[in-house]
Structure formats: structure tokens, C-alpha cells
Amino acid sequence: LLLSFVGVGIFVRRSPREATERLGLLPPRQRRWWLVAVVGIFAFLAIAYGIERVADTLSPSSQQQVTNATNVLFSHFNNPLGVILLGLMPAVVEETLFRGALVPRLGVLVTAVLFAALHTQYAVTFATLEVFVLGIGLGLLRVRSGSTLPCMVTHAGYNIAVGLLGFLAK
């Protein structure tokens, strides 16, 4: 979060209020933004499911490597509270940086590429494609809503849903 505020020039070029506005940490333009966020969560889950089915067919070994890496990285969060924390923290930090600070400067596509590149635990697999598609969708949501908050809600909801589905599947 600090990197995002420093990056937009807090106390140098912008006051705290201006930096907060520049990062899109303000109410969305639409009144029913939460509905878009909920629809986005389900849309991203459906897209991820589709990409994973293709990955299972075309590259089952790399899909298994992604699953193994994910299990190792997130094994300490294998409980409901851990899933919620792991859903919320990256959503707030990543959305403030990528959709708040970078989308207005670099655009949706470049920011989505950087967002996917950050998720190095997936190497270059179909999971990277999932993250890239999520980045595009969240970037478009930021542009359309004028706010980073719906992006945070959608990202957190998606992360929590994936975590809970994984937790319940065990």
C-alpha cells in the first residue's frame, strides 16, 4: 500500500486526499457497483473453471505442478479464517497498486500483463492466463467505475471463493 501512495506522489506532488483520489479509493460512480462485483466474482470463477478444464486436457502435468505449488505456498492458510485473510490482503494491496496506481498510467492491458507476471508461483502455465484475464476484467471495472473499491471487492470475493471451494473439496 505504501508503494502505491509513494508512487502517486503523496506529500511530494499530491496531498493525502489527492493521492487517495488518484488511487481510486473513493466511492464508485454507480450506485449498484456491488452487484457488478458479485457478478464479476461468478464470471471469473466460470472463466477460471473453463481455463482449468482446458489445462487439464492439454497439459495435465503443468496443471498438477500449479496445484502442488499452490498447496505448498498456502498450506498455513488451510482454515476458514486463513482463507478470508488470504482473500482480503492481496486484494487490497494488489488492487491499490495495479488498478489504483498503474491502470491510469499504463492502461488495462499492460497492467494485466504486469499483474500476471507478479504471480510467479504459476510460472508460465494456464494459471497465468487465468490471472491475466482477471487482470483485464478488474482493469475494465476500474475504468468503468472510476473507483478501485469494486475491484477490491471482486478480487477478494474471487480469492475467498476459490479458497473456500478448495477447502471444502478436501
**Percent of the chain scoring above 90 in pLDDT:** 68
- Residue-wise pLDDT for 27-57, tens only, equals 998 888 889 999 999 999 999 999 999 998 9
- Taking the CB of residue 73, how many other CB atoms lie within 10 A of it? 11
Cα–Cα distances (Å) from 24 to 44, 60, 81, in that order, read: 22, 40, 28
Q: What are phi and psi of 37, to 5 degrees?
A: -65, -45
Q: Compute the distance between CA of residue 122 and CA of residue 125 in angstroms, rounded to an integer.
A: 6
Domain boundaries, the chain: 32-169
Segment 67-81 mean pLDDT: 76
* The amino acid at 163: G
Residues 6+ apart with CB under 8 A from 136: 108, 109, 112
| Mean pLDDT (the chain, rounded) | 91
Per-residue pLDDT at 112 exceeds 90: yes
Q: Compute the distance between CA of residue 24 and CA of residue 100 in angstroms, rounded to an integer.
A: 5
Q: Compute the distance between CA of residue 159 and CA of residue 107 in angstroms, rounded to an integer.
A: 23
Reading the block at residue 167, the C-alpha cell is 477447502
Per-residue pLDDT at 166 exceeds 90: no
Assess contact for 27 and 147: CB atoms under 8 A: yes
Q: What are phi and psi of 102, to 5 degrees?
A: -90, -40
pLDDT of residue 123: 77
Residues 6+ apart with CB under 8 A from 66: 122, 123, 125, 126, 127
Residue 124, SS3 per DSSP: coil
Most confident of 51-60, 111-120, 159-168: 111-120
pLDDT of residue 164: 87
Residue 125, SS3 per DSSP: coil
